[in-house]
């Protein structure tokens, strides 16, 4: 207990007075009559302190700490640190739940419990903890926390689990990162995996706000999430990009979950779990690409095309579709085999794709059939699209060498169209053009066989 009389501070503990000191404002150290302690002597005695005396205020922020250089755990807390840093998660939960009640007690209230603190080697050791309400003291204006090695007589460590078990042990063995945050967004516990995934170490991660471990682009979102979940119990999950020094950029999935105390009113902590989802997302993206793309040409496939048309038509986009079918392609397969045919298809696909303008896309929908989707501007633009496709195929060397041509059917979207409605009209237009092309080719062959014609009323030569 602390009292100030005539400038002398009387410090008492659970076993009575310990020291009576007068503060020498000039040197900032404690001296007093009868102690025969100079500032130099007190500085020499500090390393022998066997306990930590901290002053904390609302939010469990440490504003002062009197302890040996290494503290009672080997990691002394500094002003600005969170009092729950390195506290076993089971005990942190218990203290968080009691925290709001502790800060509402009357000045002069005292309480005692036990708590497990993490040592630099990662293990946990029990300590006695005394809490004294000195919020009325004009200097302290907060709670005084006295921490000393466990006496074995103050409260149970954990009624459910042995001292070396519980959430912390489980967290260290989980294949994911785990961190416990105060409502202010400060980590009070983190396992090694959490620190590793965030590109730091546990000590650094727990020495400041969580957002300091995040990429600048993600800090606002993380801060807003923690702030929101600190006001109400809830959950939020999203993916962040972090820079892994050895493996380059990685994707992590961060899941934030907040819970209220036993009273169910105030959020006492936020639990963060972190998983490296880089490979999972790469695998998902690879599977999605395979499901939506043609393995031979790399173009989008029929499934992707139907989804794309469905979205565009739902948006009432004005579209023009070009249904493309290669002419005389079957002869290539029959004469040279499927390997040669595949080479023609790949080359033609590349040529068509290269001819497209921004906003246009192409998909392979069958053996030698392709579909181009473009925004409709006017009839001249549609005619230009058809000409570009004809020119693209005509200038593919292997297609020209094998006499492979192309038939193109155009169709414009109409109100109420479904994907198959639009594709069916374009397909029909393509077959109509193919038929006209075959008739024209047949007439040309007949004319070539018949030779030049002579009109009946022309005068005979010579």
The yes-or-no verdict on residue 437 having pLDDT over 90 is: no
Nearest to 88 by CA among 184, 172, 194: 172
Report the chain's mean pLDDT, rounded to a whole number. Answer: 76
Pick the range with the lowest mean pLDDT from 107-111, 259-263, 273-277, 293-297.
Answer: 259-263
The larger pLDDT score, comparing residue 447 to residue 65, is at 65
The yes-or-no verdict on residue 148 having pLDDT over 80 is: yes
pLDDT in tens, 374-430: 998 787 888 899 999 999 999 999 988 989 999 999 999 999 999 999 999 999 999
Nearest to 187 by CA among 175, 176, 200, 174: 200
pLDDT in tens, 324-357: 999 999 888 888 888 999 999 999 999 999 999 9
Most confident of the following: 75-79, 289-293, 344-348: 344-348
**In this predicted structure, what is the pLDDT of residue 315?**
93
**In this predicted structure, what is the pLDDT of residue 246?**
54
Model confidence at 275, pLDDT cuts 50, 70, 90, reads: confident
Tell me whether strands 187-190 and 177-181 are parallel, antiparallel or unpaired. Answer: antiparallel
The yes-or-no verdict on residue 262 having pLDDT over 60 is: no
The yes-or-no verdict on residue 169 having pLDDT over 60 is: no
Mean pLDDT over 113-137 rounds to 82
- Contacts of the segment 103-108: beta carbons below 8 A, 24+ positions apart: 103/58, 103/135, 103/143, 105/133, 106/133, 107/133, 107/134, 107/135, 107/136, 107/137, 108/1, 108/133, 108/136
The yes-or-no verdict on residue 33 having pLDDT over 80 is: no
Q: Which domains are delineated in the chain?
A: 1-39 (no CATH), 167-282 (3.30.450.20), 294-446 (3.30.70.270)
Mean pLDDT over 203-214 rounds to 83
Model confidence at 45, pLDDT cuts 50, 70, 90, reads: low
Model confidence at 248, pLDDT cuts 50, 70, 90, reads: low
Sign (positive or negative) of CA dihedral 280, 281, 283, 284: positive
pLDDT in tens, 182-200: 888 888 888 888 888 888 8
**In this predicted structure, what is the pLDDT of residue 96?**
67
Mean pLDDT over 109-116 rounds to 83
Model confidence at 454, pLDDT cuts 50, 70, 90, reads: very low
Model confidence at 93, pLDDT cuts 50, 70, 90, reads: low
CA 60 to CA 83: how far, in whole Å? 5
Name the phi and psi angles at 259, rounded to 5: -140, 150
**In this predicted structure, what is the pLDDT of residue 373?**
96
- Residues of the chain with pLDDT > 90, as a percent, come to 23
The larger pLDDT score, comparing residue 372 to residue 218, is at 372
Asked if residues 178 and 191 have their Cβ atoms less than 8 Å apart, the reply is yes
**In this predicted structure, what is the pLDDT of residue 179?**
85
CA 200 to CA 194: how far, in whole Å? 9
Cα separation of the two ends of the chain: 139
Sign (positive or negative) of CA dihedral 185, 186, 190, 192: positive
Model confidence at 445, pLDDT cuts 50, 70, 90, reads: very low
Most confident of the following: 148-157, 170-179, 180-189, 282-291: 180-189
Helix (H, G, I), strand (E, B) or coil at 115: strand
Q: pTM score, two decimals?
A: 0.45
- The count of other CB atoms within 10 Å of the CB of residue 90 is 22
The larger pLDDT score, comparing residue 309 to residue 106, is at 309
Nearest to 86 by CA among 55, 68, 62: 62
Pick the range with the lowest mean pLDDT from 93-102, 113-122, 401-410.
Answer: 93-102
Model confidence at 153, pLDDT cuts 50, 70, 90, reads: low
Q: Which two tokens stand for residue 270?
A: 């936020």
The larger pLDDT score, comparing residue 220 to residue 25, is at 220
């Amino acid at each position: 207990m602390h009292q100030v009389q005539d400038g002398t501070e009387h410090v008492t503990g659970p076993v009575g007075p310990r020291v009576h000191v007068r503060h020498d404002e000039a040197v900032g150290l404690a001296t007093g009559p009868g102690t025969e302690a100079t500032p130099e002597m007190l500085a020499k005695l500090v390393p022998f302190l066997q306990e930590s005396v901290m002053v904390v205020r609302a939010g469990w922020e440490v504003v002062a700490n009197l302890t040996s250089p290494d503290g009672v755990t080997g990691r002394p807390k500094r002003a600005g640190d969170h009092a729950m840093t390195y506290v076993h998660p089971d005990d942190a939960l218990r203290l968080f739940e009691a925290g709001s009640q502790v800060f509402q007690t009357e000045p002069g209230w005292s309480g005692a419990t036990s708590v497990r603190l993490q040592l630099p080697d990662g293990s946990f050791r029990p300590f006695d903890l005394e809490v004294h309400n000195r919020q009325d003291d004009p200097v302290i204006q907060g709670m005084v926390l006295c921490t000393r090695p466990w006496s074995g007589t103050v409260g149970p460590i954990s009624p459910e689990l042995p001292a070396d078990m519980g959430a912390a042990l489980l967290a260290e063995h989980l294949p994911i990162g785990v961190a416990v945050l105060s409502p202010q967004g400060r980590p009070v516990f983190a396992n090694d995996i959490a620190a590793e995934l965030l590109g730091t170490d546990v000590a650094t991660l727990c020495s400041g706000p969580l957002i300091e471990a995040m990429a600048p682009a993600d800090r606002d979102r993380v801060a807003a999430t923690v702030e929101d979940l600190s006001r109400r119990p809830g959950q939020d999950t999203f993916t962040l990009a972090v820079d892994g020094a050895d493996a380059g950029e990685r994707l992590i999935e961060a899941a934030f979950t907040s819970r209220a105390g036993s009273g169910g009113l105030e959020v006492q902590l936020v639990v963060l779990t972190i998983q490296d989802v880089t490979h999972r997302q790469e695998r998902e993206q690879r599977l999605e690409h395979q499901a939506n793309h043609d393995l031979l040409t790399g173009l989008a496939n029929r499934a992707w095309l139907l989804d794309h048309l469905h979205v565009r038509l739902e948006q009432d986009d004005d579209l023009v579709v070009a249904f493309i079918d290669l002419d005389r392609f079957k002869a290539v397969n029959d004469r040279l085999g499927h390997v040669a045919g595949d080479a023609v298809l790949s080359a033609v696909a590349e040529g068509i794709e290269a001819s497209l303008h921004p906003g246009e896309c192409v998909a392979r929908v069958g053996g030698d059939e392709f579909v181009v989707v473009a925004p409709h501007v006017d009839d001249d633009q549609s005619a230009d699209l058809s000409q570009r496709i004809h020119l693209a195929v005509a200038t593919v060397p292997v297609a020209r060498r094998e006499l492979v041509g192309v038939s193109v059917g155009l169709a414009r979207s109409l109100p109420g169209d479904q994907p198959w409605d639009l594709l069916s009209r374009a397909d029909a237009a393509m077959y109509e053009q193919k038929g006209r092309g075959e008739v024209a080719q047949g007439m040309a062959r007949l004319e070539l066989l018949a030779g030049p014609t002579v009109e009946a009323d022309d005068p005979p030569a010579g």
